[in-house]
Amino acid sequence: MKTTLKVLPSLQRKLDSLENLVEQQVERKLVDIAESAVTLSPVDTGAYVTSFSFSVGRGRPRGKSSRGRPKGNGQAMRQEGLDNLKNDLKKIPSLMDTTSITLRNNSPHATAVEYGGKGWITPPYFVFTKLRNIHG
């Protein structure tokens, strides 16, 4: 037994509109996470804050070393980090077809920034811990 249902054009337009709304909300949430990540990040040379990346599977993560870099302009480095993350999101073909998006920081000192380290002068920043607390 078989039956065929026809989707009326008006219903299809409503479904398309809902899908667009959901995709916009997902993108807004990801931008909120990106903004929080760069705001919570320490900025010395800018290597850490500009090493964040969003990825959907394989790919080379962004990671910059602070070794030998001069002290950076904090606001400019934060903006560069945010721009990098927004550009990563633009490269995703369809948020609706994506099942997993990973935020990562591949700077060589990311673990020390998060948890502190041997000889680390400042206390740990717990950036990813705070992100999970804020955004779930």
Q: Residue 78 domain-assigned?
A: yes
Q: Which of 27, 33, 75 is nearest to 53 (CA)?
A: 33
Show the CA angle centred on residue 32, arms to residues 27 and 37, nearest 5°: 125
Number of domains in the chain: 1
Residue 102, strand partner residues: 55
CA dihedral 108, 114, 31, 15 (to 10 degrees): 100
Q: Residue 8 domain-assigned?
A: no
Q: Residue 116 domain-assigned?
A: no
Residue range(s) defining the domain that contains residue 54? 41-109
Tens-digit pLDDT profile for residues 98-122: 889 999 999 999 999 999 988 888 8
Q: Residue 85 domain-assigned?
A: yes
Tens-digit pLDDT profile for residues 53-86: 998 876 666 666 666 665 778 899 999 999 999 9
Its pTM stands at 0.83
Q: Residue 118 domain-assigned?
A: no
Q: Residue 57 domain-assigned?
A: yes
